[in-house]
């Protein structure tokens, strides 16, 4: 089934749900006018529909290969990447003084959603480069910015992040890669990194690796880690490509999904690198890139949810099986008439909308923090980021699994393409910090303010629910009550002096918070529609059927850790 970019849906969410107009009213983003936004979404939508979506299946069936030390990408991917760079879409949110468009991250989120929904494996490449652009913009020396940023922003060069090592996993502080000073401002970088997405390709240009490594006599753990730029080819002063650097792709991982995206094992053997940021401050610099990527990964989950939903909708409207309850009553005569299939289709649609609204609200907070320098916006963006990443990816996983179920037995047969969405999206809950790590960050670091931002968001939800009560009394009351339950759970979290008690319920707390925010945004959609229309009906479905899940999540969240440690290890593993 052809992919159709949800351009109209994006316009509605931006205009009516997340308050994007306030971003466009700032001096920083004054060029993000409604006409500009519509033109960009329309053009990127055409690119996604006509160029990228036809590559998606081929990337799955004809994966990237390593041949004689060279990564060969899936057929058509090179042309697809060229189309992305020709449109200037890699640099949409990048600084204008280095060749970018300087447009809001919120709009960039929309573009990356369309890329992920049409072909996630290829769309991952510019997403990584965008993260590297932001890291260099904030931490690189001026000469490096002048040399690298124009090339990365144009897409002529691409960027990666190199964190993980075989023995370290998510414990980045356990890495052993070394950086030895040469005495001339360069360093010799040695070590092996795994899970490096788009670590190499045959698109031409340079592949620029940001690598975490440890200087001689550096402190143990994350306090002794520095960040280095280690390019595949050492650039000449004029930006042309010089000698090949001492690095190579050892192998490509054989993955569950996103087969068209080469995931590399990289080896650095006294490769030449340059310091980015200060010595032993590499984690701070890398987190700039990772925070950008975390929202981007949530967006990937939402894009896959969209693609899987459209695939399932098309099948449900085509598949005829058995006698439907609406035969002769204006039904379609297809499985879309069955109540359980309708439940699944509505769940896909409702959760995709909720996840998209949360992610774009996070994007708006990032843009407002950038444009105004206001600390409250910055705190809001930081708090929403783990929710956007986790709920976006969990929604992608759930929706793609429902898509397989709607296909029935054919969903388990690869030729239908339904399973690809489920396989492709599964990694998003793992990379850029697992969803468990996101949730622990939320209940610990993001609540160091005593829960002030969490409470501010809850207050906002309740105020909107109060305003909705006149026209939507049942829906408004349900959202308000859910927010009160969330407030009580938040107060419990803040009161726990033992962080492990918070961590034991971190994931259900985050999911409960997301459920309430989803109810809030669906209620806003009903209010914007102003009557008994499709958005109001979808809001009622979400608030009546999905929002009640928050109670179970939050009950789980406030159990503490004692019952988990009442088990012996042997009991848990027997």
Residue 229 lies in a domain: no
Task: Tell whether 277 is covered by a domain.
Answer: no
Per-residue pLDDT of the chain (574 residues; tens, 9 = 90+): 589 999 999 999 999 999 999 999 999 999 999 999 999 999 999 999 999 999 999 999 999 999 988 999 999 999 999 999 999 999 999 999 999 999 999 999 999 999 999 999 999 999 999 999 999 999 999 999 999 999 999 999 999 999 889 877 667 778 889 999 999 999 999 999 999 999 999 999 999 999 999 999 899 888 899 999 999 999 999 999 999 999 999 999 999 999 999 999 999 999 999 999 999 999 888 777 677 789 999 999 999 999 999 999 999 999 999 888 888 788 889 999 999 999 999 999 999 999 999 999 999 999 999 999 999 999 999 999 999 999 999 999 999 999 999 999 999 999 999 999 999 999 999 988 899 999 999 999 999 999 999 999 999 999 999 999 999 999 999 999 999 999 999 999 999 999 999 999 999 999 999 999 999 999 999 999 998 899 999 999 999 999 999 999 999 999 999 999 999 999 999 8
Tell me if 120 sits within 8 A of 424, measured CB to CB.
Answer: yes
Q: Is the whole-model pTM more than 0.85?
A: yes
Indicate which CATH number applies to the domain containing 429.
1.20.140.10
Contact 207, 158 (CB under 8 A): yes
User: Is residue 432 annotated as a catalytic residue, yes or no?
Assistant: yes
Task: Look at residue 190 and tell me if it is in a domain.
Answer: no
Identify whether 26 is part of a domain: no
- Decide if 46 is inside a domain: no
Q: Which of 432, 466, 491, 529 is catalytic?
A: 432
Specify if 235 maps to a domain. Answer: no
Kindly state whether residue 214 falls inside one of the protein's structural domains.
no
* Structural domain of 367: 287-308+323-563
Number of domains in the chain: 1
Q: Are 164 and 174 in contact (CB under 8 A)?
A: no
Q: Are 83 and 47 in contact (CB under 8 A)?
A: yes
All residues at 6 or more sequence positions from 245 whose CB lies less than 8 Å from its CB, including other chains: 230, 231, 232, 233, 234, 271, 272
CA-based nearest residue to 200, from 133, 243, 263, 253: 263
Is 351 a domain residue? yes
């Amino acid at each position: 089934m052809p992919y159709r970019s949800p351009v109209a849906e994006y316009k509605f969410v931006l205009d009516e749900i997340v308050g994007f107009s306030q971003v466009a009213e700032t001096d920083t983003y004054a060029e993000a006018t409604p006409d500009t936004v519509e033109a960009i979404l329309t053009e990127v939508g055409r690119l996604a529909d006509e160029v990228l979506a036809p590559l998606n299946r081929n990337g799955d069936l004809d994966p990237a290969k390593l041949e004689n030390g060279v990564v060969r990408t899936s057929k058509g991917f090179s042309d697809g990447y060229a189309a992305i760079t020709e449109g200037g879409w890699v640099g949409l949110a990048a600084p204008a003084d280095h060749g970018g468009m300087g447009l809001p991250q919120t709009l960039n989120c929309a573009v990356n959603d369309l890329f992920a929904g049409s072909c996630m494996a290829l769309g991952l490449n510019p997403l990584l480069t965008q993260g590297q652009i932001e890291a260099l913009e904030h931490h690189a020396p001026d000469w490096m910015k002048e040399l690298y940023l124009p090339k990365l922003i144009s897409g002529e060069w691409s960027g990666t992040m190199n964190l993980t090592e075989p023995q370290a996993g998510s414990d980045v502080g356990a890495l052993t890669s070394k950086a030895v000073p040469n005495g001339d401002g360069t360093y010799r970088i040695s070590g092996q990194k795994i899970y490096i997405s788009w670590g190499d390709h045959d698109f031409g240009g340079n592949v620029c690796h940001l690598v975490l490594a440890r200087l001689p006599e550096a402190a143990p753990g994350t306090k002794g880690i520095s960040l280095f730029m280690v390019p595949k080819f050492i650039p000449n002063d004029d930006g042309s490509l010089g000698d090949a650097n001492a690095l190579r792709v050892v192998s490509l991982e054989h993955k569950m999904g996103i087969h068209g995206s080469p995931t590399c094992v990289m080896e650095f053997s006294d490769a030449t690198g340059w310091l980015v940021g200060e010595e032993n401050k590499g984690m701070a610099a890398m987190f700039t890139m990772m925070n950008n990527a975390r929202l981007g990964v949530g967006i990937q989950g939402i894009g896959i949810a969209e693609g899987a939903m459209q695939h399932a909708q098309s099948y449900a409207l085509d598949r005829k099986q058995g006698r439907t309850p609406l035969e002769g009553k204006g039904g379609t005569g297809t499985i879309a008439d069955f109540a359980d299939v309708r439940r699944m289709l509505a769940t896909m649609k409702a959760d995709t909308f909720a996840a998209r609204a949360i992610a774009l609200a996070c994007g708006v907070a990032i843009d407002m923090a950038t444009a105004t320098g206001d600390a409250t916006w910055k705190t809001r963006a930081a708090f929403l980021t783990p929710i956007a990443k986790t709920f976006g990816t969990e929604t992608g996983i759930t929706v793609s699994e429902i898509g397989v179920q709607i296909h029935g037995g054919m969903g388990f047969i690869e030729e239908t393409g339904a399973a690809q969405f489920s396989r492709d999206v599964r990694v998003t809950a793992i990379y850029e910090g697992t969803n468990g790590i996101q949730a622990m960050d939320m209940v610990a670091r993001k609540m160091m303010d005593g829960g002030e931002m969490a409470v501010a968001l809850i207050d906002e939800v309740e105020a909107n629910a109060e305003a909705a009560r006149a026209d939507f009394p049942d829906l408004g009351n349900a959202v308000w009550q859910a927010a009160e339950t969330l407030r009580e759970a938040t107060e419990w979290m803040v009161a726990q002096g033992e962080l492990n008690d918070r961590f034991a319920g971190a994931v259900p707390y985050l999911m409960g918070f997301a459920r309430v925010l989803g109810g809030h945004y669906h209620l806003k959609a009903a209010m914007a529609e102003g009557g008994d229309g499709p958005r109001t009906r979808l809001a009622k479905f979400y608030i009546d059927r999905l929002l009640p899940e928050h109670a179970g999540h939050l009950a789980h969240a406030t159990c503490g850790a004692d019952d988990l440690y009442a088990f012996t290890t042997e009991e848990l593993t027997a």
